[in-house]
Structure 1
Amino acid sequence: MSDTPQKPIRILYIDDEEINLQAFKSTFKRDFKILVALSAKEAREILKEQEVDIIITDQRMPVETGLDFLVSIMPNYHDPIRILLTAYTDIQVVSDAIQKGIIYHYLTKPWDEDYLRNIIHNAYEVYNLRQENLKLKRELAIAKDQLDKISGQNQLS
């Protein structure tokens, strides 16, 4: 095992209700690094400045839905695991979003603290596995390029 301390999981939580942001932050601030935003616009500004591992967003917000926000940021911020949180259930929208890989998980309000903490840890495990996979793909591509160069040199000899 490594003696290197593990960095805290970085979560961006977006909700248009200040009380929900405060509740989330006070509940999870000991376990995770919490960033909060009152709107999709504010969340975009945070994403420009901060790296995050997990994005949790409310679905129903005044200007832009959580799902619309997540779709809009995917080209520039594809790595963070995306979780949708809402008090309302539109199962078809949620099902489509999961199938298309837009969201990792869907939770209903009010959230259960232990269940949400477990989902966050599971999401972070997926995040780490994806990052490791990307690293291995890069290493494999470099090794393949080196092998191709060696093979090409041998053919010229």
Structure 2
Amino acid sequence: MGEENIYKNILYVDDEVHNLNSFRAVFRRSYTIFTASSAEEGRQILKANNIHLIITDQRMPETTGIEFLESIIKDYPAVPRILLTGYTDINAVIDAINKGSVYKYVQKPWSEDELRTTIENALKLYNNSKNQEELTEKLMTTNEQLEFLLRQNLLS
């Protein structure tokens, strides 16, 4: 699998149960897989779990993948998103990027190696983002401590 990621929880949303089962069978040993057969079920999983990567099908009966991603972006802005689809529609690609902040657009049927590489890269991006947040927080704390010490020295 390559470099280990601390963050491994993946949500895959697709209305076709066969696709969900195939995805789980292929990736279950490398990641913790959560599957949902609807956007609403996906939202419930997101609320109940700490998800690090979201993968969704584009064409679903009640909502499109882009609409689903757009609806959750406010609550989960840092989580990378991958859109899977069997259809090549340039407008869907543009909407995925502009509205759903999609990290990558992958066509079905997906190649296991290509999708695995895409997932690894997305999780590395998430890891880097989380590491940057932690470092920024530590830097702010250190700055506050230094500022306090400088003030103490100036007052003495």
Report the TM-score, using the length of structure 2 for normalisation: 0.87
1:100 positional shift: 6.7
Aligned to 2:125: 126
1:87 positional shift: 1.0
CA distance in 2, matches of 1:14, 1:101: 14
CA distance in 2, matches of 1:17, 1:98: 24
Aligned to 1:103: 102
Given that residues 8 and 33 in structure 1 are in contact (C-alpha distance below 8 angstroms), is that contact kept between their aligned partners in structure 2?
no
CA distance in 2, matches of 1:77, 1:143: 28
Q: 1:113 to 1:144 in 2, by over 3 A?
A: same
Q: 1:42 to 1:76 in 2, by over 3 A?
A: same
Relative contact order, CA 8 A, sep 6+: which one is greater?
2
Structure 1 residue 24 corresponds to structure 2 residue 23? yes
1:63 positional shift: 1.5
Given that residues 8 and 31 in structure 1 are in contact (C-alpha distance below 8 angstroms), is that contact kept between their aligned partners in structure 2?
no
CA distance in 2, matches of 1:85, 1:61: 11
Deviations 1:119-153 (A, max 9, x none): 11111111111110110111111112222222333
Query: Counterpart of 1:117 in 2: which secondary structure?
Result: helix
Deviations 1:21-55 (A, max 9, x none): 11111121122211100011001111111111111
Structure 1 residue 135 corresponds to structure 2 residue 142? no
Q: Match for 1:56: what amino acid?
A: I
Which consecutive residues of structure 1, in runs of 5 or more, have no partner in the other structure? none
Q: Match for 1:41: what amino acid?
A: E
Structure 1 residue 114 corresponds to structure 2 residue 113? yes
RMSD (Å), alpha carbons: 2.0
CA distance in 2, matches of 1:39, 1:101: 17
Query: Counterpart of 1:31 in 2: which secondary structure?
Result: coil
CA distance in 1, matches of 2:50, 2:24: 17
Aligned to 2:61: 62
1:8 positional shift: 7.0
1:6 positional shift: 6.3
Aligned to 2:153: 154
1:29-40 equivalence runs, <5 A: 29-40=28-39
CA distance in 2, matches of 1:65, 1:81: 17
- Number of aligned residues: 153
CA distance in 2, matches of 1:100, 1:6: 27
Q: Quote the sequence identity (%).
A: 47
